[in-house]
């Protein structure tokens, strides 16, 4: 097997991975591996923005309070404090690297999203904030000759030796390569593609969480999946996020009878927490026997709407929807997983030499429900912290050869994938109960063997990871017999006993 040694290995090239790479670049050679092209990540698709305290009318204390409130009692307070305190510095640094956030005159333009009590969301090119962040971070990373990238390189597993992480086995050009490193940082993003309705890009298949748990890392809070209330629901169109900032700027929700309904569900109406809005939409859909509701911007100034949401406008126009004149059909979709690889404030996992940052990680910042637009900020703050901490690694990677070369194959990959995604959406989605979760568990157990086999194609490896992570989500959701944050059980509507405990998973994933 071919092999290579680097100082620092980063898996994933979204905001967290690139920010970590920039931190490490002056101190050694950094290899960023990514399963697709480097810009293909959830970061690239983030529309709404990035939350940070950048005005005199706001304070880090208020941002902290809003984040804790959204997290519904399950945030780690020190992680939130670190996020909100270090956030503004990370933003200023991005601006100094060339980030062009939208401005009103000389001042940064700040918008509002659900559960924020101040206008504190920065955005770029209207609704293309993630794309701007990715542009700036990629260009900054490129300015260091020590940073190299391996695109289209799929990480199969971590190299674990005596309980330490010594790098990863990667599939590149149909060959497995062992990449040995003093420190390995997982920044692989989330797992939205486990659900048939999602705002996430194709790459979000939970790979980082699956390879970490196979290596013995602890996962935490995996039952907490956030569903975004408004993704485009139009048969001919791909699933597409309609940013919450549209509601922040005054868009309202109507059921198919043309009636506004959010006032009946929450005092903050359209700007209620996401889980409340998503459940309200489901309830209206059931009442009206429909599979969508509408987002309405027709009362807003047309010029403002077009300038503020140019990407959403042009995408909807492709499907003959004029967002200034037409009602936009929307329904909820899986958006973000609050759980992930448990880390401390420096991105360290329970495995020496293995760090995690961004959506793949669980720093405890988001608790049971993420405050909108805190995730890009988390990627920046904790990507930088993981990079800094990785500099102190004491790992001396050994060129071990423990790779299992025996390979299996799956004949009905696409059928299983489709069935898994549908099961997760229908049985483990916005509203869950013991019966639906048990049905999901039974289905997943049919594919248990796949999680133990070794494969040599991206599609098969992705499916193996999707089954693994789905199973952990289902089992965690079964264990949490109560409703907290984004986890809602129709058979346990109160918080349940011991609700403040976090559910953790390690290697022993299948309980049967």
Query: Where in the sequence numbering do the catalytic residues fall?
Result: 274
Give CA–CA dist 327/96, Å, rounded: 40
State which residue, 243 or 393, has the beta carbon closest to ligand SIN: 243
The footprint of ligand SIN on this chain (CB under 6 A) covers a number of residues equal to 9
Binding of ligand SIN at residue 243 (CB under 6 A)? yes
Report the site for ligand SIN in 149-208 (rule: CB under 6 A): none
CB of 228 to ligand SIN, least distance (A): 6
Nearer to ligand SIN, 182 or 335 (CB): 335
> Could you give the CA distance from residue 80 to residue 348 in angstroms, rounded to a whole number?
17
Tell me how far, at minimum, the Cβ of 429 lies from ligand SIN, in Å: 17
Instruction: Please report whether residue 375 would count as binding ligand SIN according to CB under 6 A.
Output: yes
Residue 41 C-beta: closest distance to ligand SIN, Å = 14
Which of 33-41, 144-152, 242-250, 479-487 is the region at the interface with ligand SIN (rule: CB under 6 A)? 242-250
* Residue closer to ligand SIN, measured from CB, 243 or 423: 243
- The minimum distance between CB 363 and ligand SIN, in angstroms, equals 16
Question: Which residue in 23, 244, 275, 284 binds ligand SIN (CB under 6 A)?
Answer: 244
- How do beta strands 175-186 and 328-337 pair? unpaired
Cβ proximity to ligand SIN, 188 vs 200, nearer residue: 200
Nearer to ligand SIN, 47 or 313 (CB): 47
452 CB burial (10 A radius; 0-12, 13-18, 19+): exposed
Neighbours of 355 (CB within 10 A): 30
Residue owning tokens 């997760």 = 424
Q: Which of 12, 17, 38, 48 binds ligand SIN (CB under 6 A)?
A: 48
Residues 312-341, interacting with ligand SIN (CB under 6 A): 335
Which residue stretch of 165-173, 297-305, 351-359, 368-376 sits at the interface with ligand SIN (rule: CB under 6 A)? 368-376
DSSP letters, 37-61, are -TT-SHHHH--S-EE---STT--HH
Angle at 71 between CA 271 and CA 68, to 5 degrees: 95
Tell me the chain's radius of gyration from C-alpha atoms. Answer: 22
Q: Among residues 179, 372, 430, 469, which is the contact residue for ligand SIN, using CB under 6 A?
A: 372
- For ligand SIN, the binding residue among 43, 373, 393, 483 (CB under 6 A) is 373
- Least distance to ligand SIN from the beta carbon of 295, Å? 11
3-state SS assignment for residue 504: strand
Smallest gap from residue 376 Cβ to ligand SIN (A): 7
Is 423 a binding residue for ligand SIN by CB under 6 A? The answer is no
Q: What would the two tokens of residue 66 be?
A: 């809003």
Q: Nearest distance from residue 441's CB to ligand SIN, in Å? A: 29
Residue ranges with strand state E in 339-399: 340-342, 354-356, 361-362
Which is closer to ligand SIN, CB of 47 or CB of 67?
A: 47
Which secondary-structure segment (H or E) carries 318? helix 310-318
Give residue number: closest CB to ligand SIN. 48
| Backbone φ, ψ for residue 302 (5° rounding) | -65, -40
DSSP 68: H
Helices (H), 143-230: 207-215
- DSSP for 441-480 reads HHHHHTTGGGGGS--SSHHHHHHHHHHHHHHHHHHHHHH-
Assess 133 for contact with ligand SIN (CB under 6 A): no
Residue 245-284 contact track with ligand SIN, rule CB under 6 A, x = bound: x---------------------------------------
Greatest alpha-carbon span in the chain: 65
- Degrees (nearest 5) of the Cα angle 257, 260, 263? 145
| 168: nearest Cα among 374, 403, 343, 452 | 403
Q: Quick check: 225 binds ligand SIN (CB under 6 A)?
A: no
Residue 47 binds ligand SIN (CB under 6 A): yes
Q: Which of 37, 36, 5, 33 is nearest to 17 (CA)?
A: 33
User: Least CB distance from residue 174 to ligand SIN, whole Å?
Assistant: 36
Summarize as ranges the residues that interact with ligand SIN (CB under 6 A): 47-48, 243-245, 335, 372-373, 375
């Amino acid at each position: 097997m071919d092999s290579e040694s680097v100082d620092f290995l980063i898996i994933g090239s979204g905001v967290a991975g690139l920010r970590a790479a920039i931190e490490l670049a002056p101190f050694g050679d950094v290899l960023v591996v990514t399963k697709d092209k480097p810009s293909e990540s959830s970061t690239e698709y983030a529309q709404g923005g990035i939350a940070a305290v950048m005005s005199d009318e706001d304070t880090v204390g208020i941002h902290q309070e809003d984040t804790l409130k959204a997290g519904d009692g399950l945030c780690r307070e020190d992680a939130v404090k670190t996020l909100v305190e270090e956030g503004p510095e990370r933003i200023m640094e991005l601006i100094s690297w060339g980030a062009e956030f939208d401005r009103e005159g000389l001042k940064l333009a700040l918008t509002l999203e659900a559960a924020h009590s101040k206008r504190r969301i920065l955005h770029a090119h209207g609704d293309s904030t993630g794309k701007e962040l990715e542009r700036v971070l990629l260009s900054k990373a490129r300015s260091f000759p020590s940073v190299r990238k391996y695109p289209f390189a799929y990480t199969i597993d971590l190299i674990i030796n005596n309980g330490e992480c010594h790098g990863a086995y990667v599939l590149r050009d149909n060959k497995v390569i062992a990449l040995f490193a003093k420190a390995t940082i997982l920044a692989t993003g989330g797992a939205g593609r486990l659900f048939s309705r999602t705002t996430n890009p194709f790459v979000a298949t939970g790979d980082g969480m699956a390879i970490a748990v196979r290596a013995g890392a602890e996962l935490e809070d995996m039952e907490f999946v956030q569903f975004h209330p408004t993704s485009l629901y139009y048969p001919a169109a791909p699933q597409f996020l309609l940013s919450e900032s549209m509601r922040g700027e005054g868009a309202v929700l109507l059921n198919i009878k043309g009636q506004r309904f959010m006032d009946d569900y929450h005092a903050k109406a359209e700007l209620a927490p996401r889980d409340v809005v998503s459940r309200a939409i489901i309830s209206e859909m059931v009442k009206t026997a429909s599979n969508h509701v509408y987002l309405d911007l027709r009362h807003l100034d047309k010029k403002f709407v077009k300038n503020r949401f140019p990407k959403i406008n042009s995408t909807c126009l492709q499907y003959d929807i004029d967002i200034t004149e037409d009602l936009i059909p929307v329904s909820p979709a899986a958006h973000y997983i609050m759980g992930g690889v448990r880390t401390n404030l420096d991105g360290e996992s329970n495995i020496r030499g293995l760090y995690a940052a961004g959506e793949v990680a669980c720093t405890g910042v988001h608790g049971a429900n993420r405050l909108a637009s805190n995730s890009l900020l988390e990627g920046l703050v904790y990507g930088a912290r993981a990079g800094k901490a990785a500099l102190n690694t004491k790992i001396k990677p050994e060129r071990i050869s423990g790779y299992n070369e025996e390979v299996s194959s799956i004949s009905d990959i696409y059928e299983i994938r489709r069935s898994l995604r549908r099961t997760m959406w229908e049985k483990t989605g916005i509203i869950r109960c013991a019966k639906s979760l048990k049905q999901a568990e039974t289905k997943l157990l049919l594919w248990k063997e796949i999680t133990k086999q070794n494969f040599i194609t991206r599609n098969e490896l992705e499916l193996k990871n999707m089954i693994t992570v789905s199973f952990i989500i289902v089992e965690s959701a079964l264990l949490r017999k109560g409703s907290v944050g984004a986890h809602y059980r129709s058979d346990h509507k109160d918080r349940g006993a011991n609700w403040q405990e976090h559910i953790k998973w390690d290697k022993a994933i299948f309980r049967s």
